[in-house]
Structure 1
Amino acid sequence: MKKTHLFLSMFVMLFTGSFMTACAQQKAKTEQQIEEDRSRDQYIQSMDILSNVIGNVRMYFVDTVNINKMARRGIDAMLGGLDPYTEYIPYEDMDELKLMTTGEYAGVGAIIAQRPDSSVYIQSPMQGMPADEAGLIAGDRILTIDGKDFRKSTTPLVSQALKGVAGTIAKVTVMRYGETKPRTFAVKRRKVIMNTVPYSGMLDGSVGYIRLNGFTDKSAEEVRTAFFDLRDKKGAKSLVLDLRGNGGGLMQAAIEIVNLFVPKGKEVVTTRGRSAESAAVFRTLTEPVDTKIPIVVLIDGQSASSSEIVAGALQDMDRAVLMGQKSYGKGLVQTTRQLPYNGIIKLTTAKYYIPSGRCIQRMDYSQANQTGMATTIPDSLHKVFYTAAGRPVEDAGGILPDIEVKQDTAATLLYYIAVNNDVFDYVTDYFLRHKSIGQPETFSITDQDYAAFCRMMEEKKFDYDRQSGKMLEKLEELAKIEGYLPDANAELKALREKLKPNLARDLRRFKKEIMNHLNNEIVTRYYYERGSIRQSLPDDKVVKEAVRLLRDEPDRIARILSAPKSTPKK
């Protein structure tokens, strides 16, 4: 009897447990179905309203309306409220997507920009591309293209006119700086390939350097080629991979670049989203080129997306030392889906997780603050993860470098000089007056050149925003409201005198920084982007610290990448 009661009791318990589990599953399924039904009803209702709104505008609005433009504005506003990365790309803009993914397009190969007077000019012809070979130079103001007037235009319209079928001729008429008669150039369009490795070279006798500017379907091969050249031909014993300012690109390119330096079969990134198809695990698929060479990866606040996958994966695998500043914090994945009329939608479909399991997404676009802006994920919600060796790392809204090297704070004056048209014209004038200059690493304008530059800036009455003066005005207002103004008048007056705008003084105070900028801009005219990088490297404090670490402190590298003395439990 006792055995029978025991058996019955166990049976009842098992049945009850199974029944409760089934009920819970049914409840969850029911709630999910209710939510799906609600979502479907909302979708049908929204589409009905939207269709009727457009129909009423088309039929009854007082003026004729371009429905396509109105719909495009609505689509852009709708998607813009989700996050900055989700967007609609119509068929006519497909070249931009191709450029982002392949680094290729058919055109003349020139970067253009617009001035406040609505004129568009050549900002920088690409080395060896049609515009460069035809003789167009930076500063040339575009007047007409194939006979069509572009004296007052926009960069998108001019860009569209310069692009075209490879092999066709673009007749470009420009006004060159300092001249009064236009020049016309016949530029033969061809496939333009934008290299994502603009420069690689040796920093000293043993340290190789690769600058990577983006992630396209050719980036991994470019890095591979540069690496073999540095290691096998130039004798590099260690490597600096510079990802600063690299905003990302194709995730697959990031995986392939990681694969160059870690064994086959390693997990690099995992994606997870709402749909089942967004969940995937990506591993290295081929044999690496070198798993031993010491590597330092440079990152900063503009290193994002695929840059963070490369840096974060190499950090999580204890394969490279990260140096610089905290990265941007973009842990989202975009995929494209086909739309009617050959358009596509680039849609955020998942978050990605690097090998330690962390997602480094910084912004929460589902939550908005009082001003309607997305909120930053608070520090209190950050979690600790561990690398393969057991080193603690955080999902800290970005990748934290193993060695932080802070950049020097630039004066506000330098920003305004960098974007000032008169400064651009000064560089153009210098280029036209000098047929050649010295090597990028050693070139510098003279003190006489700088004195002439300062005179020009004063004659042009160069003005720039002075944040300190604005802050002082706010401080005086607050002091007045709070009743401190009478007693603080003397101190505020003295501070006002010290902060009084004085262009001549500021040009003297920041002479070194301004000369560095002018030198770099001038070098770029002669040696293009490659020369610009060469010119900046000798004074780059982050690069110098990376070289010192790789050359002189191998033991420190080993300590950084090794397990802590007491390895935490995972």
Structure 2
Amino acid sequence: MQLCKTLISYIIITHTIVWAFTTHRGRLSCGNQCLIQNVRDISNLKQLQNQDGSLVAGTRSTHRTRLNLWKNFSFNNANNDKDDDSSDFDRLGKKSSAIDNGRDKNVNGEEDDGDSSKKINPFKTMLQNERITELNSSIANIVRSNEFLSKIASYVQEFADRFEQNISNIKLVLLSFSTGIALTVGVLLYAVATTVSLEDGNPVTESTALMETILTDLSEGYVDEVDSRTLFETGVSAMLSSLDPYTEFENVKDAEAMQESISSRYGGIGLVIQEVRDEKGIGDLSVDQSGDEVDTGFDEEDFLENPANAPSKTKKDDKEKELKIRAVKAFEGFAFDFGMRTGDLLVAVDGTPIKSLKSVDEVRNKLRGEIGTVAKIDVIRDGVGPLTVEVPRQVVKIPDVKLSKLMPGNDDIGYIQLSSFTTDTGLEMRNAILDLQSQILERGGNGELKGLIIDLRGNPGGLLTSAVDVASLFVPRGSDIVSAKGRGFPGVLYRSRVEPLISSQKTKLAVLINGNTASAAEILSGAIQDLDLGVIVGSDRSYGKGLVQNVQELPYSTALKYTVAKYYTPSGRCIQSIDYKDGNGKKAVKVSENDKSLFYTRSGREVKDGGGIEADLKVPAPSASALEVTLLRSGILKDFASEWSKKNQLTDNFSVTDQLYREFQAYVNDKHKAGDINLTAIYAGPLKQLQRSLEESKYQISKSELKSLESDIVREMIKDFDKYAKDIKEDLSNAILDRYLPDSMLLSRSLKTDVQVNAALKLLKNTNEFNQLLARNTGVEGDKLARIDSSGATTSKASEDLGVRLNLNW
């Protein structure tokens, strides 16, 4: 019973809500285009009822209104608007009986078209609508008689009114809600698609998801707080280093430094600074002495107001409370010209004491600043005392051409030292050659160089396009210079399109290389060798870097430098000396002689790939003794130069006399006894390894015996002061002069005793020997670059101009 009451109440409430909405709309559709004007609200119902509650005359009026509306819309008889009920029904009856064989006749007896037969009898529809009206009236009576239902109807009607008033806002809300649902569904679908792709085994997607998960877990759950950025950089660096040593991730700081090295420009004063280190902290100086270059532990480019690459501090340095900074290089045209000198101890910058700063980076940032401002630097100079030097801040361009001069006693032979390949290297090289030609003209010559020495020793390379620009100054027009290709890299060929500035028919070329000549420097030397334009002079081979790196900018001001291709010299050989196919480290293997292919230069000379550029004229470089390496790396030469400057003045005829040399020996001996320098530091690694091996083998050897061995090594090294006096005197002289003279003068002075430079000079004077080195007859037709691979097959290199020029970084 209760259930029945509940159902009846539900039905009544539902009909009440429907009635309220219908009343609110004001019109009720009666079917065939017939609209019934209904009662607006409950109060209007009272006008349509008798005292006994029955509907009266208003009903007939409603019927008439219905018929007139139907008549107007259906019969198009707007003028027939009589107030006669019978006529209305008569017309309706006539219309109802006028259907004959699918055709109608209107009230005037005219036939309607076939479409009229499809109309529904409006009289039947009217009767149905009357029942609906009566039902609405009944519902209205029920609602009116029930207070609860009346309130519900009132609330529903009020809601409907507000709904209509705010329909536009509601539509906007619904649209926003629908958009939100669509976006949510899209995100969910993307997550599902990602999950599906992960399940499908996409290695890149899987690795990315794993990296994100690992970093998140470590960042949130590791026992100690971790830096997720440092973890990411460490992981990425380890990943990239497994490919080759040239593929690297550059963070913000590294990317800025790389951009500076590429452009060779930065805003500053042109000063190289370094933190003062305690000589007692000098550790293992073990080096590989197989090369012919002495590594002094300091590279000008790496330390250029960017000490991130400076040697790490020792434990003793970490305990120092006050920061000490010394100038180790002042560039010509910049800091040097305004009074800064090598060895100056910086005291303050723009009034800020150096001891109040915490790191070399902070000092560098103080030296740098807005272009056009002046840096006021307080320094202490040995032998002079406190000084204040004002240096304007400007765009510092580090020159790639370190020295350009005519050789003394040979006014028609020039020398150019090229240290790197950056943006303006081609222009610098061109200006240097033109300057040499002008000097010859000024001395009464014809302006033609009879010989030119290009010094690429120690040149690490740089921009590929800069190497092409420099090569274009020497190679004949239309000659191939270099080509490059890789797995996802479009093949490109660089060919000279200009007339050379130097003619190989008039000017003999000699190119100096060593084991540190690499990359873009090898492109230049390889093009000159393959086209038989000059002779390569060196101790053996160049470095052998035949890989092309591209720099891809990444978000957050970072960059990715990665290997994209290998380059090939005009003969078609790749001079890459190490195979990184299986990964870097222990798996990287050097190209063996059996794997090298034989190629031919334009005149038929034999050359090989897979091991750098081999010298045509081999001149061994002087090898540095263990004592010389120790003295250079320890910094004791500069320390002695500082002490000498306090007591002496530089003269025009300065030289390291025997007396001065003995003073230096005594100075080194005193420092060694005081423990400020360890003369056996270069052997520290092997000695430690020997001691460890003996302990593991359980051989009974006392520490005193090892100490005795070290003492014997020191005595032998002391004897080297006499054996290598010439070389050490030269190093000492350079250390003292470096505090007074610019780089160009020091370089020019060193050429006099440079063995390889003198050998190249001698070769350029000997035309017969020069031509013989460039014209070996191998039986291969000249003017064709060809190769013979390991199987003995001979192939020629096609000279196809792809017409593409790329600015790639090396």
Q: Bin the TM-score by the shorter chain.
A: 0.7 to 0.9
Aligned to 2:615: 401
For 2:272 and 2:238, how far apart are their aligned partners in 1? 28
Q: 1:68 to 1:168 in 2, by over 3 A?
A: farther
Q: Percent identity?
A: 32
- The reply on whether 1:120 has 2:325 as its aligned counterpart is yes
- The reply on whether 1:192 has 2:353 as its aligned counterpart is no
CA contact (8 A) 1:362 1:397 kept: yes
TM-score, normalised to structure 1, is 0.82
For residues 15-68 of structure 1, give each alpha carbon's deviation from its aligned partner in whole angstroms, at most 9, with x where no partner exists: xxxxxxxxxxxxxxxxxxxxx999981100000011111112222234443333
- The reply on whether 1:287 has 2:493 as its aligned counterpart is no
SS of 2:369 mapped into structure 1: coil
For 2:632 and 2:462, how far apart are their aligned partners in 1? 26
- Structure 1 gaps of 5+ residues are 1-35, 486-493
Query: Which one-letter code corresponds to 2:263 in the other structure?
Result: T
Deviation at 1:521, TM superposition (A): 2.3
- The reply on whether 1:444 has 2:655 as its aligned counterpart is yes
Structure 1 segment 416-495 matched on structure 2, within 5 A: 416-438=630-652, 443-461=654-672, 462-465=677-680
SS of 2:230 mapped into structure 1: helix
Query: Which one-letter code corresponds to 1:101 in the other structure?
Result: I
Counterpart selection for 1:525 from 732, 739, 744: 739
Q: 1:143 to 1:208 in 2, by over 3 A?
A: same
Query: Which one-letter code corresponds to 1:340 in the other structure?
Result: P
CA contact (8 A) 1:300 1:324 kept: yes
Say how many residue pairs are matched: 522
SS of 2:536 mapped into structure 1: strand
TM-score, normalised to structure 2, is 0.59
The structure with more radius of gyration = 2
Aligned to 1:13: none
Q: 1:252 to 1:62 in 2, by over 3 A?
A: same
Structure 1 segment 316-327 matched on structure 2, within 5 A: 316-325=530-539, 326-327=541-542
- The reply on whether 1:66 has 2:230 as its aligned counterpart is no
Query: Which one-letter code corresponds to 1:100 in the other structure?
Result: S
Q: Pick which of 162-171 and 262-271 moved more.
A: 162-171
- The reply on whether 1:348 has 2:563 as its aligned counterpart is yes
Structure 1 segment 378-393 matched on structure 2, within 5 A: 378-393=592-607
Aligned to 2:270: 109
Q: 1:132 to 1:466 in 2, by over 3 A?
A: closer
Q: Pick which of 556-565 and 354-363 moved more.
A: 556-565
Q: 1:396 to 1:348 in 2, by over 3 A?
A: closer
For 1:329 and 1:233, how far apart are their aligned partners in 2? 36
Q: 1:172 to 1:76 in 2, by over 3 A?
A: farther
Query: Which one-letter code corresponds to 2:522 in the other structure?
Result: E
Counterpart selection for 1:333 from 518, 541, 548: 548
CA contact (8 A) 2:566 2:574 kept: yes
For 2:683 and 2:223, how far apart are their aligned partners in 1? 50
CA contact (8 A) 2:630 2:682 kept: no
Query: Which one-letter code corresponds to 2:638 in the other structure?
Result: F
Aligned to 1:210: 416
CA contact (8 A) 1:365 1:375 kept: yes
Deviation at 1:402, TM superposition (A): 0.5
Larger relative contact order, structure 1 or 2 (CA cutoff 8 Å, min sep 6): 2
For residues 510-533 of structure 1, give each alpha carbon's deviation from its aligned partner in whole angstroms, at most 9, with x where no partner exists: 221110111122233322211221
CA contact (8 A) 1:469 1:499 kept: no
CA contact (8 A) 1:334 1:350 kept: yes
Query: Which one-letter code corresponds to 2:274 in the other structure?
Result: A
Aligned to 1:138: 342
Structure 1 segment 126-275 matched on structure 2, within 5 A: 126-129=331-334, 131-146=335-350, 150-151=354-355, 153-177=358-382, 185-203=389-407, 204-205=409-410, 206-234=412-440, 235=445, 236-275=449-488
Aligned to 2:176: none
Deviation at 1:254, TM superposition (A): 0.8
For 2:763 and 2:248, how far apart are their aligned partners in 1? 43
Q: 1:444 to 1:284 in 2, by over 3 A?
A: same
For 2:392 and 2:688, how far apart are their aligned partners in 1? 56
Q: 1:481 to 1:139 in 2, by over 3 A?
A: closer
Query: Which one-letter code corresponds to 1:409 in the other structure?
Result: S
Q: 1:358 to 1:177 in 2, by over 3 A?
A: same
For residues 130-189 of structure 1, give each alpha carbon's deviation from its aligned partner in whole angstroms, at most 9, with x where no partner exists: x3344332223345545656547554453344333312343444454478x865544321
CA contact (8 A) 2:419 2:458 kept: yes
Deviation at 1:317, TM superposition (A): 0.4
Structure 1 segment 27-66 matched on structure 2, within 5 A: 41-66=202-227
- Structure 2 gaps of 5+ residues are 1-196, 278-316, 318-322, 701-707, 782-793, 796-810
SS of 1:122 mapped into structure 2: strand
For 1:149 and 1:61, how far apart are their aligned partners in 2? 41
Q: 1:535 to 1:378 in 2, by over 3 A?
A: same
For 1:155 and 1:147, how far apart are their aligned partners in 2? 17
CA contact (8 A) 2:242 2:583 kept: no
For 2:649 and 2:429, how far apart are their aligned partners in 1? 34
Deviation at 1:91, TM superposition (A): 3.9
CA contact (8 A) 1:170 1:187 kept: yes
Deviation at 1:93, TM superposition (A): 4.2
CA RMSD in angstroms, aligned pairs only: 3.5
Q: 1:480 to 1:138 in 2, by over 3 A?
A: closer
CA contact (8 A) 1:88 1:344 kept: yes
SS of 2:739 mapped into structure 1: helix
Query: Which one-letter code corresponds to 1:361 in the other structure?
Result: Q
CA contact (8 A) 1:246 1:304 kept: yes
Aligned to 1:488: none
Deviation at 1:425, TM superposition (A): 1.8
CA contact (8 A) 1:108 1:187 kept: yes
CA contact (8 A) 2:514 2:538 kept: yes
Aligned to 1:7: none
For 2:557 and 2:689, how far apart are their aligned partners in 1? 53
Q: Pick which of 499-508 and 67-76 moved more.
A: 499-508
Q: 1:165 to 1:39 in 2, by over 3 A?
A: farther
For residues 475-505 of structure 1, give each alpha carbon's deviation from its aligned partner in whole angstroms, at most 9, with x where no partner exists: 99999999xx9xxxxxxxx999975635543
SS of 1:166 mapped into structure 2: coil
Deviation at 1:74, TM superposition (A): 2.6
CA contact (8 A) 2:348 2:379 kept: yes
